[in-house]
């Protein structure tokens, strides 16, 4: 257990750290839909108090022309138990590109077909391109660059039905689904629809199904029925490695 300035850090009771251990310091900002008055400042203070902040102090306020904006500091006495937290993660070794090609040769002895698209009305291609296109992202080459992967990126605004048809036609080993627009739960609807279609088509057992996007977490992906979900900071090698391992685990050849 870590010791900080003579005080023991209790992992069952972790609190935010501002200036000293367990001070529970927090900063927050928000607007209230009321004009700025001394009463509005007090309302902001009470708001923070009701959020559980001890000694909240409104350090800044601005009239927004009808509404009011506040920056508030305070302390919390609440804590979290780190020892009880478990987050599902994509685990396993990450192969470099040459390693991945070698593993595919060794384990499957054939090209793996990977199809991908950003589905629905979502027009954001940069994320799926980063994973799939030759050029890759931040110096990490994309799947098209892999000798043993036949990567087919259908781009954005692809209807789920079209992606499925394509996957069936080309006997895809893995399907990559991107969703960037998340406003009003847009992505959940689209992602669920995709899973439903894949399941109804009877190819779910033979195909690794992966989703990704800046607001996608692995946990959400599992809940929706995907094999994995990848968020910010993902590169092609993470995805390739996962596909290889998952196919082996499932006994796919």
Partner 1 sequence: MHLGLDPGKIRHAREIARAITEPILIKILAHTTDSVERATLRLMGLDGADEDDIPYPNILVRHLRDRLGEGLAPLVAQAAKDRGLSLRELAYGVSEEKIDLRDFQPADRDAAGAECERLLRENIRRVERQVAARDGFVRELGQGEPPWLYVIVATGNIYEDVVQAQMAARQGADIIAVIRSTAQSLLDYVPEGITTTGFGGTYATQANFRVMREALDEVSREVGRYIRLVNYASGLCMPEIAAMGALERLDMMLNDSMYGILFRDINPLRTFIDQHLSRMISAYARIIINTGEDNYLTTADAVEAAHTVLASDLINERFAHEAGLPADLMGLGHAFEVYPEMTDSYLYELAQALLIREVFPDHPIKFMPPTKHMTGDIFRGYALNAMFNFTGVLTGQSIQLLGMLTEAMHTPFLMDRALAINNARLMFNAARHLAENLEIKPHSWLLQRSAEVLDRAITMLERIAEIGLFQAIADGMFADIKRPPEGGKGGDGVVLKSADYANPLLKILTEKVHGRH
Q: Which residues bind partner 1 (CB under 8 A)?
A: 29-31, 62, 64-67, 69, 121-123, 125-126, 129, 155, 157, 181, 183-184, 186, 214, 232
Q: How far apart are CA 133 and CA 145, in angstroms?
A: 8
Nearer to partner 1, 122 or 173 (CB): 122
Residue 30 binds what, of partner 1, ligand B12, none (CB under 5 to 8 Å, by partner type)?
partner 1
Active-site hit among 7, 13, 89, 135: 135
Nearer to partner 1, 187 or 218 (CB): 187
Nearer to ligand B12, 148 or 221 (CB): 221
Neighbour count for residue 130 (Cβ, 10 Å): 19
Half-sphere exposure of 180 (CA within 13 A, CB side): 15
Residue 95 binds what, of partner 1, ligand B12, none (CB under 5 to 8 Å, by partner type)?
none
Task: Give the β-pairing of 25-32 and 149-153.
Answer: unpaired
Q: Could you tell me which stretch among 5-13, 61-69, 188-196, 228-236 binds ligand B12 (CB under 6 A)?
A: 228-236
Neighbour count for residue 91 (Cβ, 10 Å): 8
Nearer to partner 1, 108 or 137 (CB): 137
Q: How far apart are CA 114 and CA 135, in angstroms?
A: 17
3-state secondary structure of 244: helix
DSSP-derived secondary structure for 82-140: GGG-------SPPPPHHHHHHHHHHHTSSPEEEEEEEBTT----HHHHHHHSTT-BTTB
The token pair that represents 187 in the structure block: 């992505």
Contact status: 231 vs ligand B12 (CB under 6 A):
yes
Catalytic, 138? Answer no
The token pair that represents 29 in the structure block: 């900002």
Cβ within 8 Å of residue 147, ≥6 positions away: 101
Contact status: 183 vs ligand B12 (CB under 6 A):
yes
Residue 239 binds what, of partner 1, ligand B12, none (CB under 5 to 8 Å, by partner type)?
ligand B12
We find the least distance from the C-beta atom of residue 30 to partner 1, in angstroms, to be 7
Identify the CA nearest to 119 among candidates 56, 162, 87, 70. 162
Residue 31 binds what, of ligand B12, partner 1, none (CB under 5 to 8 Å, by partner type)?
partner 1
Contact status: 176 vs ligand B12 (CB under 6 A):
yes
Number of residues that bind ligand B12 (CB under 6 A): 30
Nearer to partner 1, 152 or 246 (CB): 152
Of residues 190-219, those binding ligand B12 (CB under 6 A) = 210-214
Query: Annotated catalytic sites, by residue?
Result: 135
């Amino acid at each position: 257990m870590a010791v900080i300035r003579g005080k023991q850090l209790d992992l069952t009771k972790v609190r935010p750290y501002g200036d000293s251990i367990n001070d529970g310091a927090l900063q927050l900002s928000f607007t209230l839909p009321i004009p700025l008055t001394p009463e509005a400042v007090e309302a902001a203070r009470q708001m923070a108090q009701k959020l559980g902040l001890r000694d909240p102090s409104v350090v800044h306020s601005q009239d927004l022309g009808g509404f009011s904006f506040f920056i508030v500091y305070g302390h919390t006495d609440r804590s979290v138990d780190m020892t009880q937290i478990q987050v599902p993660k994509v685990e396993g070794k990450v192969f470099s590109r040459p390693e991945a090609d070698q593993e595919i040769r060794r384990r499957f002895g054939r090209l793996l077909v990977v199809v991908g698209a950003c589905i629905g009305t979502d027009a954001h291609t940069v994320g799926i391109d980063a994973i799939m296109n030759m050029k890759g992202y931040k110096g990490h080459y994309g799947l098209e660059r892999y000798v043993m992967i036949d990567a087919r990126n259908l781009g954005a605004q692809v209807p789920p039905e079209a992606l499925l048809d394509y996957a069936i036609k080309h006997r895809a080993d893995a399907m990559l689904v991107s969703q960037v627009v998340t406003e009003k739960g847009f992505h959940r609807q689209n992602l669920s629809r995709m899973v439903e279609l894949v399941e109804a088509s009877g190819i779910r057992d033979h195909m690794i199904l992966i989703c990704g996007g800046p607001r996608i977490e692995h946990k959400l992906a599992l809940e929706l029925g995907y094999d994995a979900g990848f968020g910010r900071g993902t590169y092609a090698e993470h995805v390739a490695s996962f596909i290889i391992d998952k196919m082996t685990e499932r006994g796919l050849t």
